[in-house]
Amino acid sequence: MASNTEKAVEKAMKSASENVHARTDVAARLAHDLIDRVARRAELAEEGIRKTANDAERKMRHSLRRAREKSLDAQSSVGEFVRTHPLAAVGIAVGVGMLLSSMARRSSKRIVERIDYPEIH
């Protein structure tokens, strides 16, 4: 037969065990609630990112379409100018070629000046 002390210890252990189980249940419930809140926020963030990406894609496609249209308009304008003013077009082409050649020569001259050539003995 168990003594009063043993019964008291057994009762205390049972109470402590029930207390631990109750606290574990509360901790698990709180952890699940926290995970649910974090998941919801992640879901909202993902939705926002997807919407922003879709908006950016739509704007980019619109800009690309406009750039293509402007490019075609410019090409058409240049073609029309060349057909109506062939000598002026050739003169402009020669002038632009000379300007680009001059700029390229200066640029390459600066590059050559920066190169540290070793001395030859």
Q: What are phi and psi of 117, to 5 degrees?
A: -80, 135
Whole-angstrom CA distances from 117 to 20, 111, 112, 121 are 81, 12, 10, 13
**Model confidence, pTM:** 0.47
Output the pLDDT for position 121.
Answer: 60
- Measured in whole angstroms, how far is the alpha carbon of residue 102 from the centre of its chain? 40
Q: How far apart are CA 69 and CA 61, in angstroms?
A: 12
Domain segments of the chain: what residues?
4-79, 85-115
pLDDT along the chain (121 residues), means of 10: 74 79 90 95 96 97 96 95 95 95 81 68 60
Instruction: Give the DSSP letter of residue 1.
Output: -
